[in-house]
């Protein structure tokens, strides 16, 4: 089997990096990006300086400003970030037809396994990309080269905010054991909480455990953890023209309705369905879309963007409600709705998880994990959330 050569490009603090290309006065200053006009504004992105002061993505803006006094606060310019992503992608794709957007925050995978004759060694391709991106776009990417996507992603997490890392085949045996589990892609908060209860916090704590031992703790999710801590990842880098993965769930009302309680109840059921599928697939949703079909046949679709990406039912529901508010702007009754989760990625690294995560979030994650275990064993219909008991007409 031919050894793979996967490059991971990572623009650290992507939104801040893009803003700094437009305003040089922001360089070396603490920067927080958040929608200032929103009643419950939360941090969209932050600079390394703000991160060192304790600011985290998703943190309430009021708290972030309180702990990072003097920070410059900017509203997000999503169109600007999308243009930057497009420019980055245009520079990456000439080197391989296997080029994948890992998320929409400046992360890309590039498989250069069969391109040596055309472009030279993979590390030369990575150096060339870094130089061109710096020169033409003013952005400074971190990059890594590894035999698979998982190891490449871990490597760039280790050298942020500036650097490069080459992981040779077999080097994962030295690279992974000392690392905390939150740095391993695909391990999300419920798993970290469950493992922490047994004092399992680092890769070296998991390696002595057999698959059967892990299955007692994590059931169906044990296989992925067993392979991930050993650096095993056979997932391919998607082709440039490949259809982007997404999950959908839909509900058609027996009688067209505009009753808010009923619509919210059915929407939460759709969220539970997709949330469970996301967690089973070890993925997180980077964008929530909702399509509404009205009684007169008109269809409207609107979106909301969780930041960071999530597979937590309660968080997904909050963003689904935002998409609902944006699409439900008519007095005509609703006939059908479809929930869409796309921009699917590995769950983001849970840095400072236990000191930063609010107690309510931790309780929600434990609750969802428990419900998942019950549904896997006894079926989806055995346990329901209270808000779903509203009887449909």
Q: Which residue in this structure is represented by tokens 């698959």?
A: 211
Which strand ranges, in their side-by-side order, compose the sheet holding 287-294? Answer: 247-257, 334-342, 287-294, 299-304
Q: What is the dotted CATH code of the domain comprising 175-228?
A: 1.10.150.20
Give span(s): CATH 3.40.1170.60, the chain. Answer: 19-76
Q: Where in the chain is the domain with CATH 1.10.150.20?
A: 175-228
Domain 6-14+79-173 classified CATH 3.30.70.270?
yes
Number of H helices, E strands in the chain: 16, 12
Does domain 247-389 correspond to CATH entry 3.30.1490.100? yes
pLDDT tens digits along 51-68:
999 998 888 899 999 999
CA quadruple 193, 198, 203, 207: dihedral, nearest 10:
-140
Least confident of 306-315, 321-330, 343-352: 343-352
Instruction: Return the pLDDT at 355.
Output: 44
Q: What CATH number is given for 19-76 in this structure?
A: 3.40.1170.60
pLDDT in tens, 209-253: 998 988 888 877 788 889 999 999 888 888 877 667 789 999 989
3-state helix, strand, coil in the chain (%, to 5): 45, 20, 35
- Among 205, 372, 191, which residue's Cα sits nearest to residue 277? 372
Would the pTM of this model clear 0.85, i.e. be above it? no
pLDDT at 380: 59
Strand order in the sheet with 31-33: 45-46, 31-33, 72-74
Greater pLDDT, 19 or 37: 19
Stretch(es) of the chain classified as CATH 3.30.1490.100: 247-389
């Amino acid at each position: 089997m031919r050894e793979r050569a996967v490059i991971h490009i990572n623009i650290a603090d992507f939104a801040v990096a893009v803003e700094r290309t437009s305003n040089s006065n922001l360089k070396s200053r603490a920067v927080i990006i958040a929608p200032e006009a929103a009643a419950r504004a939360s941090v969209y992105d932050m600079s390394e300086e703000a991160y060192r002061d304790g600011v985290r993505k998703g943190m309430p803006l009021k708290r972030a400003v309180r702990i990072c006094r003097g920070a410059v606060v900017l509203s997000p310019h999503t169109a600007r970030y999308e243009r930057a992503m497009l420019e980055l992608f245009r520079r990456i794709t000439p080197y391989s037809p296997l080029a994948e957007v890992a998320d929409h925050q400046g992360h890309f995978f590039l498989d250069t396994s069969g391109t040596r004759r055309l472009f030279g060694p993979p590390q030369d391709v990575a150096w060339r990309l870094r130089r061109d991106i710096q020169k033409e776009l003013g952005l400074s990417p971190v990059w890594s080269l590894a035999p698979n996507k998982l190891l490449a992603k871990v490597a760039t997490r280790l050298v942020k905010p500036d650097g490069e890392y080459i992981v040779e085949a077999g080097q994962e045996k030295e690279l992974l054991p000392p690392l905390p589990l939150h740095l391993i892609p695909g391990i999300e908060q419920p798993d970290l909480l469950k493992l922490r209860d047994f004092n399992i916090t680092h890769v070296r704590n998991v390696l002595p455990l057999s698959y059967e031992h892990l299955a007692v703790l994590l059931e169906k999710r044990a296989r992925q953890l067993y392979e991930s801590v050993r650096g095993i990842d056979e997932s391919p880098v998607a082709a440039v023209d490949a259809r982007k993965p997404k999950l959908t769930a839909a509900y058609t009302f027996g009688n067209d309705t505009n009753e808010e309680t009923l619509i919210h109840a059915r929407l939460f059921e759709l969220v539970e369905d997709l949330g469970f599928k996301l967690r089973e697939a070890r993925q997180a949703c980077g964008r929530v879309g909702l399509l509404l079909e009205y009684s007169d046949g008109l269809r409207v679709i609107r979106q909301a963007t969780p930041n960071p990406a999530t597979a937590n039912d309660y968080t997904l529901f909050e963003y689904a409600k935002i998409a609902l508010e944006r699409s439900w702007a008519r007095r005509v009754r609703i006939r059908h709705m479809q929930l869409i989760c796309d921009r699917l990625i590995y769950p983001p690294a849970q840095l400072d998880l236990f000191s930063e995560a609010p107690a309510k979030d931790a309780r929600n994650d434990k609750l969802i994990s428990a419900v998942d275990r019950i549904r896997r064993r006894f079926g989806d219909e055995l346990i329901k959330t209270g808000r779903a008991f509203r009887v449909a007409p």
